[in-house]
Structure 1
Amino acid sequence: MKTESHNKIVDYLRQIPSERVFLNFKNTSYTFGHMLGLCTVLKSRFPELVSKSCAILSEDRESLALYLPALDAICSHIFLQPDDIGDKESELYASAAIDFKINLRNGKISSVEKITRLDSLEKRVKVSNSYILATSGTTGEPKLASYSLYSLTATAQKNIARGTEFIWGLSYDINRFAGLQVYLQALVAGSRLVVPSKNETIATLIQLYVDNHVNCLSATPSFWRKALMVPSHKRVPLKRITLGGRLAIKIF
């Protein structure tokens, strides 16, 4: 049985030159050093979250991208909650034994709510792993699945020296399996990740990738079909592409 050699994202952050840029937003960028510093700041600001199981709900991609390593550093488990689980929230919280709900908005932690739940041991999912994601599967009903950081990064390219060669563009939400894999691939290799806002037009996305010299992109077939309709797609200097997040960490 394999054991997880790095059970927190912060362990990877410590290995990467602090001055190297990790996140590129539309008008802002953050270095790996900034991400590491945020891990320390959050632990002192929110001691109640230490070793707790927490749900993270973000109104935008940027906030989750910014705070994920810091929250991972202090929480025992994190449920990356999508915004489409409807009235199933309480049920899923009980199933995952969630202690706190953390709301993110506009690059800030907007609120931290303590969860009072009626536990149902029969319905509780195994949460021995660090990450809990919701998947609808074939039924359309949200179900929980848990993953360890080891399993999510097991086949990722972790050559930090080469990581500077690659600039990833994000086309998925980070609270989905494919988006989380892309996020972690960029992070563990010390690469740059370009994070667009939600609901951007395909033309705006392509221009963002052009402006930031994105050369690695994982996306769905429907995304690629739309991208090919935008004339400026030819200016995106792609070196690596995939048709789905599952293969995004295997393309180097």
Structure 2
Amino acid sequence: MRPAQGSHNKSTSLFEALSAVDKHSDPLIVDANASITLSNLVSGSALFGRGDELCGRSVLVATTNQFTTASALIELDGVARRIVLCPPDLPIEHLPYVMDTAAVDGIVSDRTALQYGSPRPLYFSPCSPTVEPAKCERNACYKTEWILLTSGTTGIPKLVVHSLASLAGAIGPPNMSPEPIVWSTFYDIRRYGGLQIFIRAIFAGASLVLSNAQESPAAFLTRAARLGVTHISGTPSQWRRALMSPAACFISPKYIRLSGEIVDQPILNSLHSAYPHAQISHAFASTEAGVAFEVNDGFAGIPPETIMCTPFVEMKVKDNSLRIRSARTASRYLGNNVSALLDEEGFVDTGDLLELREGRYHFIGRRDGVINVGGLKVHPEEIEAVINRHPAVQGSIVRTKKNPMTGAMVIADVVLDRVNACLDEDVRELREDILLRCRESLSSYKVPAAINFISSLSIAESGKVLRRNA
């Protein structure tokens, strides 16, 4: 049996939640090219008044931008039987599998219908970034299933089934402060991390500033500052990239949230230095497990009492893997011949490995992310944590390179801090200093055979550092 929900939000749909927002403040949803007030979303339609034609259907939402997605989600929740949220980087060859597995019989998109070849009859509804007066009543007829996509080890996406209740389960009581909240996120709202912030903004009646994949970090941060962003979230990799930008000093957030990757002490220290007046929190959440907890004490790692005593969430560490049971977790994977999401006790095995040291649990990597060096297992994140503690390092990624003797050797690609970066003649000395720190903290087989200095780390659409092995 799952623990109680714990959410303070009782709305049965996004539209109902939006309808309860204080109209005097009239918050906005804003992207780089457009904006709309939440009250206009209540009274208007981005689907040209065709929402009633999508009632009871399994609807694929596949738009070219987050702004149009936001309008469609508000209109479809409670109306569609199922919403299938298509992430921006879904390979086109996987689309037929997604549509078949989710029994899609309706599509909402700002693309043309000809791009979605399907053998079954489909109702196609265009979606516009502009909102026209609504032509139909919007009553919540369904407890809509939300289908979010995540990648498996084969690259074929897994379809994860949520409800609005599970997605909103971690959202606390409304903000009672007289000062308005303006949310933003580096995440895309078509993924779990960004969708969480979108739903938080809707339930809180807060403005939301959307990011744009085509924007540079400097352009986004400048726009976020101009719009008065107070609360902002992203992965550690996204924050490291942001802090490299001269525009990082433009924003003055009151609340910063990190999730999606291992949060180490250097990134927390960098954020505290850049934003000394902000509350900085790091949270654990995943598409399958939902939001489990957040840590607010300014330190990396997790206090044991967080694992044992987080309200409405049961957690345990079994075989070094974090397992979670709560009303915030997804209910199942969709499709035939898929593995069970929940174990026999109703826990989600996250595959994220923990070890207890110095009185706190620390993530050491993922079970499926281990690299093999001469028959020995290596967690890249463990090596990266050591490298990132060097004061001249902004970030790093560890990978393997084929070696005729050991089969693979460890290589580290390192980005230097723009303030502390050394001159060309000091590079050799810096490389030796980093290697010395690795030798002092790591087993010999984990010490990088080579360190390359690069200008930036590649970040995937998910916001996580892009890992490749040669």
Residue in 1 aligned with 2:170? 155
Residue in 1 aligned with 2:226? 211
Residue in 1 aligned with 2:194? 179
Residue in 2 aligned with 1:225? 240
Question: 1:82: Cα distance to partner?
Answer: 1.8
Question: 1:221: Cα distance to partner?
Answer: 0.8
> In structure 2, which of residues 1, 7, 12 is the aligned counterpart of residue 7 of structure 1?
12
Question: 1:91: Cα distance to partner?
Answer: 1.6
Task: Provide the secondary structure at the position in 1 that maps to 2:77.
Answer: helix
> In structure 1, which of residues 30, 54, 63 is the aligned counterpart of residue 59 of structure 2?
54
Q: Highest CA radius of gyration, 1 or 2?
A: 2
Q: Please give the residue correspondences for 1:102-251 in structure 2 after superposition, counting only pairs within 5 Å.
A: 102-104=108-110, 116-117=119-120, 130-159=145-174, 161-162=176-177, 165-244=180-259
Question: 1:55: Cα distance to partner?
Answer: 0.3
How big is each residue's C-alpha offset from its partner over 1:80-104, in whole Å with a ceiling of 9 and x where there is no partner? 0124233121222111111112112
Task: Provide the secondary structure at the position in 2 that maps to 1:54.
Answer: strand
TM-score by length of 1: 0.82
Equivalent AA in structure 1 for residue 18 of structure 2: L
Question: 1:161: Cα distance to partner?
Answer: 4.0
- Tell which deviates more after alignment, 200-209 or 42-51: 42-51
Question: 1:29: Cα distance to partner?
Answer: 2.7
Closer, same or farther in 2 for the Cα pair 1:42/1:231, shift >3 Å? closer
Distance across 1 between alignment mates of 2:177 and 2:204 = 8
Equivalent AA in structure 2 for residue 210 of structure 1: A
Distance across 1 between alignment mates of 2:194 and 2:152 = 17
Question: 1:225: Cα distance to partner?
Answer: 0.7
8 Å Cα contact 2:96/2:118 also seen in 1: no
Residue in 1 aligned with 2:414? none
Equivalent AA in structure 1 for residue 174 of structure 2: N
- Structure 2, unaligned stretches of length 5 or more? 122-142, 261-282, 286-290, 297-470
Equivalent AA in structure 2 for residue 64 of structure 1: T
Distance across 1 between alignment mates of 2:177 and 2:153 = 39
Question: 1:205: Cα distance to partner?
Answer: 1.0
Question: 1:115: Cα distance to partner?
Answer: 5.4
> In structure 2, which of residues 76, 83, 90 is the aligned counterpart of residue 78 of structure 1?
83
Aligned-residue sequence identity (percent) comes to 28
8 Å Cα contact 1:101/1:114 also seen in 2: no
Alignment RMSD (CA, Å): 3.0
Kindly tell me the number of residue pairs found equivalent between the two proteins: 238
Task: Provide the secondary structure at the position in 2 that maps to 1:13.
Answer: helix
Distance across 2 between alignment mates of 1:89 and 1:215 = 37
- Structure 1, unaligned stretches of length 5 or more? 119-127
Closer, same or farther in 2 for the Cα pair 1:66/1:44, shift >3 Å? closer
TM-score by length of 2: 0.46
The structure with higher relative contact order (CA 8 Å, sep 6+) is 1
Residue in 2 aligned with 1:91? 97
Question: 1:196: Cα distance to partner?
Answer: 2.9
- Tell which deviates more after alignment, 135-144 or 55-64: 135-144
